[in-house]
Structure 1
Amino acid sequence: MPLALFALTVASFGIGTSEFVIMGLLPDVARDLGVSIPSAGLLVSGYALGVFIGAPILAVITARMPRKLALLVAMGIFTVGNFLCAVAPNYWLLMLARMLTAFCHAAFFGIGAVVAADLVPQNKRAQAISMMFAGLTVANILGVPFGTGLGQIAGWRVSFWAVVLIGLISETALAVLLPANLKMEVPNLAREFRILARPMVLLNFLISMLVSVSLFTVFTYITPILEDVTGFTPRAVTGILLLFGVGMTIGNLLGGRLADWKGAQSLMACLLVLALVLLAFTWTSHSGVPAMVTVTAWGILTFSVVPPLQLRIVDKAVGASNLASTMNQGVFNLGNATGAWLGGFAINAGIGYGSLPLIGAAVAGVALILTLLSESLERRRVPAGGIRVGNS
């Protein structure tokens, strides 16, 4: 794999650490800024909202930029945003800084996925995308625990200063290792937005969103599930979440290889098994070892669908790959917020923590049905002779 891919992976690691480290620091942030823990929790929702809002804005701003420059601009926003987080004097300025930081997220992963795919031969495109996203999953194994521990020892602001340092390293690596002559489509935003409005593209955006809803309906409340339903101690929960992070990393790399081998078939198979694993978690969550095994398998399957979904969006939106890839990140984060809301709504309606995986399984099942529908429509559009019979 080209060295430029490692630069993208390092940047992805920094973004993932910044996004998730706040979860482990919520009590410290709440105490320092004089707000409740639920209010501090809105900093997570604010980040997801920032990604969703920032996706189209940054897509338009960077549309005519060379791809290398666009990635450097995105990482510049990331670094400045984390600097502002580190020095924010109150809750509301911290919220604004978090949202600013999130603006870079969709643009970086959207453009970065297209760049990663272009850096390698055709038969390794999904593997290249999965390698870039590996930084995001490794952040959950190394960056978040280290950042949380650092923040608890030296203060939560020090964690953000550490992320600023990662941002500077990433910016340097991208500047040095990315080739300057990256392939770039001549942008026509009106035409690109029309491409994004095609039913087939919108259908696959919806599939991406539902995968995220399925994950965050359960994952947002994984700590109370493991503590109150399974009976694990808080320290044990930390270890199990580490297993989930390891599973995410394995699944991400596995998904890249499967997508390059059999893209649509592997996606549908992973979605089917994902739904079954979440269904099983309804029962295994009541027992220690089965719960650990299920959580690890869940992590593998959840991220095994990310590379094929991202590549699928790029392929369905030919002529608007940068914009489509960027918007897919915004859609995925809209799914994050929707899943967290759906899980909370279910709990407030009287559904116990142990039943949340049933909802996640149902949403994954809907994603599978829509993928089957997408493939059926594609086969009708491209008959056996390989000639397209209409626009998607």
Structure 2
Amino acid sequence: MATPSPVVAAGSVDGPALLASQRALLFGNFTIGCGVMVVPGSLNDLVRSLEISVALGGQLISVGAIGMCLGAPLLAALLAGWDRRRLLALTLLWYGLGHLLCALAPGYAALLPLRALAVLGAAVFTPQAGAAMGFMAPPAKRGRAITTIFLGWSLASVLGMPLHAYIGEAFGWRWAFGLVAVLAMVGAVWVWRALPSGVRPPVLSLRAWSEVFTHPVLMAVIVVTALSGAGQFTLFAYIAPYYRQVLGATPLEVSLLFMWFGAWGLAGNVVLSRHVDRIGAARAVGLYLTGIALSLLILPVATRPWMMALVMIPWAFGTFASNSAQQARLGHAAPLLAPALLALNTSAIYLGQAIGAMSGGAIINAAGFGALHWAGLGWTLLALALSGWAARRIQRDPAHV
């Protein structure tokens, strides 16, 4: 009989072992981000190749986001007892095989369910990677260790989106999906080799989930994440065809705009990490959401790609940082409930993406691209209003949060 792997004690991994795990999980999150962004990045060629409408192509984003939204908490509960080394490596393997099958799909009817199944890997990997890193790292290094691996998502926005756009235009969308498959296979091997065996964070209790679901203020903060995502993805899900059809951007300009957006998104996260403790997470959320709203409000003035590059700066600066600030906000508001809160906040991110993509598709069918920014602005203003209400409630009575 095989001897079971020893269980890693909380906070006991440090030095080279922790650094190796950080690098592997950062690359894993980079791969997950590239996979999530492959549809909006290659949407121009995808709709052209499959001979479908832009709105229908955007539903690939919706179905994937719904799967990730529902899958994050359900799979977290179902797989809670798994060794994280095995779980995370197998998740990336699933992700890679799923995207390979998507690349080989004969048409839209086959691609849609394959996409929904493939992205379940994202629902598992990102929250479980964060939980694993938080469990392994010593308390003094925990915050930095967790934020480091989430830089993978920001790097995916800088490199992945423009790369998908270029590959889609130059070689076809199937090659963009194939790239994600290769990255996921590499990531699976890397995680398996880097992470120690026996990493098993505590299982979330039913009481913790119940406390979260019945707390109006904490649930309001989570809804802010969903509304913010809806506001951004109403337009962002269709941004590649928007660049081409509304701005007349060339394939190179589309790729450069994606890279520009991602670079500012990375900058926003870096600034947040340095100043969030001083200004407070709730105030940071408000500032970043205000910047996003400003960009959406003035979007029609951008009639050329270079003008869009300027208009989108406040939006890009806040797009990833606002979600990171939400994570910090929830962790500070109720530390004992943080595992449940962060799992639900991950679901809220994907729920917002699904709502935004679906509402954006309906608007394009009814009125074209011109009305997208108004709908996005509406969702974002709702997020701002609810965020302010929750902040005031927490400030008035922090003991009962």
TM-score, normalised on structure 2? Answer: 0.81
RMSD, aligned α-carbons: 3.2
Instruction: Give the match for residue 306 of structure 1.
Output: 323
Structure 1 residues 276 and 345, CA gap change in structure 2 (3 angstroms): same
Structure 1: how far apart are the matches of 2:57 and 2:234? 19
- TM-superposed CA distance for 1:103, in Å, is 0.9
- TM-superposed CA distance for 1:24, in Å, is 4.3
Instruction: Give the match for residue 283 of structure 2.
Output: 265
Instruction: Give the match for residue 280 of structure 1.
Output: 298
Number of equivalenced pairs: 382
Amino acid at match of 1:46: V
Structure 1 residues 369 and 111, CA gap change in structure 2 (3 angstroms): same
Structure 1 residues 297 and 126, CA gap change in structure 2 (3 angstroms): farther
Structure 1 residues 302 and 127, CA gap change in structure 2 (3 angstroms): farther
Instruction: Give the match for residue 88 of structure 1.
Output: 105
Instruction: Give the match for residue 265 of structure 2.
Output: 248
Q: Establish whether residue 133 from structure 1 lines up as the match of residue 150 from structure 2.
A: yes
Equivalent runs, 1:175-214 vs 2, <5 Å = 175-180=192-197, 182=199, 184-188=201-205, 190-197=206-213, 198-214=215-231
Structure 1 residues 187 and 83, CA gap change in structure 2 (3 angstroms): same
Instruction: Give the match for residue 188 of structure 2.
Output: 171
Structure 2: how far apart are the matches of 1:151 and 1:289? 22
Instruction: Give the match for residue 11 of structure 2.
Output: none
* Per-residue deviation, residues 123-173 of structure 1 (Å, max 9, x unmatched): 765554443232223223323443454466655444433322211221222
Instruction: Give the match for residue 3 of structure 2.
Output: none
Structure 1: how far apart are the matches of 2:132 and 2:219? 22
Structure 2: how far apart are the matches of 1:89 and 1:288? 34
- TM-superposed CA distance for 1:314, in Å, is 4.0
- TM-superposed CA distance for 1:204, in Å, is 1.5
Instruction: Give the match for residue 33 of structure 2.
Output: 16
Structure 2: how far apart are the matches of 1:95 and 1:333? 17
- TM-superposed CA distance for 1:295, in Å, is 1.4
* Per-residue deviation, residues 276-330 of structure 1 (Å, max 9, x unmatched): 33323343x2465443112133211222212111233344454454443233222
Question: Secondary structure of the equivalent of 1:2?
Answer: helix
Alignment partner for residue 326 of structure 1, among 343, 352, 372?
Answer: 343
Contact 2:363–2:371 (CA<8 Å) still a contact in 1? no
Alignment partner for residue 308 of structure 2, among 264, 269, 291?
Answer: 291
Contact 2:40–2:239 (CA<8 Å) still a contact in 1? no
Question: Secondary structure of the equivalent of 2:81?
Answer: coil
Structure 2: how far apart are the matches of 1:187 and 1:11? 24
Structure 2: how far apart are the matches of 1:296 and 1:102? 29
Instruction: Give the match for residue 45 of structure 1.
Output: 62
Structure 2: how far apart are the matches of 1:29 and 1:231? 18
Structure 1 residues 358 and 15, CA gap change in structure 2 (3 angstroms): same
Structure 1 residues 259 and 91, CA gap change in structure 2 (3 angstroms): same
Query: Which stretch shows the higher mean deviation, 148-157 or 370-379?
Result: 148-157
- TM-superposed CA distance for 1:115, in Å, is 3.4
Structure 1 residues 254 and 128, CA gap change in structure 2 (3 angstroms): farther
Query: Which stretch shows the higher mean deviation, 320-329 or 169-178?
Result: 320-329
Instruction: Give the match for residue 385 of structure 1.
Output: none
Amino acid at match of 2:326: L
Q: Establish whether residue 236 from structure 1 lines up as the match of residue 253 from structure 2.
A: yes
Structure 1: how far apart are the matches of 2:241 and 2:169? 21
Structure 2: how far apart are the matches of 1:93 and 1:230? 32
Contact 1:83–1:164 (CA<8 Å) still a contact in 2? yes
Structure 1 residues 201 and 181, CA gap change in structure 2 (3 angstroms): farther
Q: Which runs of 5+ in 2 are unaligned?
A: 1-17
Q: Establish whether residue 363 from structure 1 lines up as the match of residue 379 from structure 2.
A: yes
Contact 2:54–2:238 (CA<8 Å) still a contact in 1? no
Q: Establish whether residue 72 from structure 1 lines up as the match of residue 89 from structure 2.
A: yes
- TM-superposed CA distance for 1:117, in Å, is 4.3
Query: Which stretch shows the higher mean deviation, 21-30 or 169-178?
Result: 21-30
Structure 2: how far apart are the matches of 1:202 and 1:215? 20
Structure 1 residues 204 and 288, CA gap change in structure 2 (3 angstroms): same
Contact 2:40–2:238 (CA<8 Å) still a contact in 1? no
Structure 2: how far apart are the matches of 1:30 and 1:378? 46
Contact 2:162–2:256 (CA<8 Å) still a contact in 1? no
Contact 2:96–2:184 (CA<8 Å) still a contact in 1? yes
Q: Percent identity?
A: 28
Structure 1 residues 74 and 228, CA gap change in structure 2 (3 angstroms): closer
Structure 1 residues 202 and 49, CA gap change in structure 2 (3 angstroms): same
Instruction: Give the match for residue 80 of structure 2.
Output: 63
